[in-house]
Amino acid sequence: MNTTTNTTKMTRLAAAVAVAYAASTMPSYAHVLPDAGGLGAGLSHPFSGLDHILAMAGVGIWAGQNADSDPAFRWLPLGFVIGMIAGAVFGMTGFSLPFVELGIAGSVVLLGAIVALGSRVPFGAAFALTAAFGGLHGFAHGQELPIASNALLYGLGFVASTMVLHAMGFSLATLVARLSWRTALRLGGGGIAVAGVALASSLAG
């Protein structure tokens, strides 16, 4: 058995352990904000829910997975940020949008499936889809912003952490591509999709 095969198996095992650990130790959803303190709370909040981490990192992975063949995909995370900001503004109006949490879980499933299958989606469609995912996440948090002690600083912190998660996903996908571990990357996408299904199931239950 060669070194590449051993490394691939170790990477698969690490990915599976990471997903299982995250699912068992972190809160699935982080859309309860009893007291937001401003910038610090905004910076930390995206890391407090598995749905946020998987969706935002997933967008970065999708971008990195396709950036070599289509450089426009480097801008894919921007679609999520734009959609998230627009969704947050909409959410602050107090308008009620049904099935938001289910839609967020669905975005995790779809992002994971796209990465796992290595689907070739045109950039325009990918950008629009990513913006829609960001809109769902933004809406959920926009409903929280009016109770924050400083909604603007909280929002800035949240956007900054979102960009960090995108960058982490993008860097991971780029590294995996350079090391020719694309199979491991697709397996990771499958893990994201499975975690998304688990999140959706918890809502249904």
181: in domain: yes
Max mean pLDDT among 79-93, 137-151, 181-195 falls in 79-93
Which value, in Å, is the radius of gyration of the alpha carbons in the chain? 17
150: in domain: yes
Task: Give the amino acid at 97.
Answer: L
57: in domain: yes
* Tens digits of residue pLDDT in 78-130: 999 999 999 988 988 877 788 888 999 999 999 999 999 988 899 999 999 99
Task: Give the amino acid at 11.
Answer: T
pLDDT at 170 over 50: yes
| Interatomic CA distance for residues 179 and 115, integer angstroms | 17
Please give the model's pTM, rounded to 2 decimal places. Answer: 0.79
pLDDT-derived band at 38, boundaries 50, 70, 90: confident
- Mean pLDDT to the nearest integer, 166-177: 90
33: in domain: no
Share of the chain above pLDDT 70, in %: 79
- Per mean pLDDT, which range of 21-25, 28-32, 174-178, 183-187 is the poorest? 21-25
Range of the domain at 194: 38-204
| Interatomic CA distance for residues 21 and 17, integer angstroms | 6
Tally the domains of the chain. 1
Give residue 143's pLDDT. 78
pLDDT at 36 over 60: no
Give residue 117's pLDDT. 92
Using DSSP, state whether 53 is helix, strand or coil. Answer: helix
52: in domain: yes
190: in domain: yes
1: in domain: no
10: in domain: no
